[in-house]
């Protein structure tokens, strides 16, 4: 199972003063759970990298209880280790691994409305169910 990073990303909010009533209707509400798979850090300056999402490999929004079709890519010296960035519309249990089981397997809680970054091993998939 991946290792959790010790930070959470800042979320977009309609309370943000830079968003006005003319463009806030252009954003879709999140339903279910969405995950982006990418690599941690910079490709050009590996020695000075921060734990930020870098190169994106894929994204997916599977239904509850359905294992992802995509897998974590191989780590590389240029792109670093793969990371799953997870965001859920409601509190959810998430499992990551070669055969994840979010109902009865090893899992962790993802709180609604927050981004969670989890390092993944090559070939890992994910699955989620509502908490």
Tens of pLDDT, residue by residue over 35-56, are 878 777 655 555 555 557 778 8
In a domain, 12, yes or no: no
In a domain, 52, yes or no: yes
In a domain, 1, yes or no: no
In a domain, 6, yes or no: no
Strand-strand pairing, 82-88 and 115-119: antiparallel
Nearest to 58 by CA among 91, 34, 77, 75: 34
73 — pLDDT class (breaks 50, 70, 90)? very high
Say how many domains are in the chain.
1
SS (H, E, C) the chain: CCCECCCCCCCCCCCCCCCCCCCHHHCCCCCCEEEEEEEECCCCCHHHCCCCEEEEEEEECCCCCCCCCCCCCCCECCCECEEEEEEECCCEEEEEECCCCCCCCCCEEECCCCEEEEECCCCCEEEEEEC
What pLDDT, on a 0 to 100 scale, did the predictor assign at position 103?
A: 95
In a domain, 114, yes or no: yes
In a domain, 93, yes or no: yes
Taking 50 as the threshold, does the pLDDT of residue 16 lie above it?
no
In a domain, 51, yes or no: yes
Domain containing residue 108: 31-130
In a domain, 45, yes or no: yes
């Amino acid at each position: 199972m991946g290792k959790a990073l010790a930070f959470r990303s800042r979320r977009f909010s309609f309370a943000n003063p830079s968003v006005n009533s003319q463009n806030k209707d252009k954003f879709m509400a999140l339903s279910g759970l969405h995950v982006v798979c990418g690599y941690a850090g910079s490709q050009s300056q590996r020695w000075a990298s921060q734990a930020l999402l870098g190169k994106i490999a894929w994204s997916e929004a599977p239904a509850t209880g359905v294992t992802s079709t995509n897998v974590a890519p191989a780590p590389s010296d240029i792109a670093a280790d793969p990371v799953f960035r997870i965001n859920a519309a409601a509190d959810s249990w998430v499992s990551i691994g070669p055969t994840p089981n979010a109902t009865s397997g090893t899992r962790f809680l993802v709180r609604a409305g927050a981004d969670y970054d989890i390092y993944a091993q090559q070939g890992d998939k994910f699955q989620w169910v509502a908490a």
